[in-house]
Amino acid sequence: MRKKERYEKVIAWFQDNVPVAETELHYNNPYELLIAVILSAQCTDKRVNMITPPLYKDFPTPEALAATTPEVIFEYIRSVSYPNNKAKHLVGMAKMLVNDFNSQVPDNLEDLVKLPGVGRKTANVIQSVVFNKAAMAVDTHVFRVSHRIGLVPDSCTTPFSVEKELVKNIPEKLIPIAHHWLILHGRYVCQARTPKCDTCGLQMMCKYFCNTYKVTKEEPKAKNK
């Protein structure tokens, strides 16, 4: 299957079957989402959602978070991965928001990545989710699913190279939702160790499925009514 056709079929399937796709992190404003995304690095959204309510309540503004210490924040986030580093990042992030950005979350990559704890992936999540920009955040799910389906070639060995390939081939207006399509598909269907190929609706568009099960016809399996 040619690349253009694969993209068209995959996008059409998601549009038909997953018309609504959004972040599973809980938040009420850009500042809270920024906190949640920083905490979610190498940690599940479920865990992050468990610990953020008291954090949001006690530190409702960048000013409040900037005025505390990493040691205090550690007690709120101790159950996430790398709590010491993330506590320092959160306080540092808040201080920079207050001092450099008038307590507002920036809407562009260049400013976002200046914030402690914010890399390109986190910045792209904020741009996409908050500001609806055509930014493709590549986490482990997006990286894995993109390669398995065949949306990106094996030569794309870094998150940035995968990001560039996806952005080049997905219509700009669909990039924000496509980010969530790929994440959710990787989280619940195309899982790392045991992909659920038998129930996946993308079977006949998927390079991994066709290669693994020696499928030669581009025809979907008949489903029992």
Cβ atoms 74, 84 nearer than 8 A: yes
Q: Which two tokens stand for residue 149?
A: 């389906």
Phi–psi pair at 108, nearest 5 degrees = -135, 155
Cβ atoms 78, 96 nearer than 8 A: no
Identify the CA nearest to 90 among candidates 40, 34, 42: 34
Give the three-state DSSP class for 161: helix
Active site annotation includes 121: yes
Q: Which two tokens stand for residue 2?
A: 């040619």
Q: Which residue ranges are tagged as binding site? A: 190, 197, 200, 206
Q: Active site residue: 139, 207, 214, 221, which one?
A: 139
- Residue 46's identity, in one-letter code, is K
Q: Which two tokens stand for residue 98?
A: 């207050």
Q: Which two tokens stand for residue 172?
A: 């700009």
Q: Active site residue: 100, 121, 164, 207, which one?
A: 121
Active site annotation includes 100: no
Q: Which residue ranges are tagged as binding site for [4Fe-4S] cluster? A: 190, 197, 200, 206
Pairwise CA distance, residues 114 & 109, whole Å:
9
Pairwise CA distance, residues 41 & 76, whole Å:
16
Cβ atoms 202, 184 nearer than 8 A: no
Catalytic residues: 121, 139
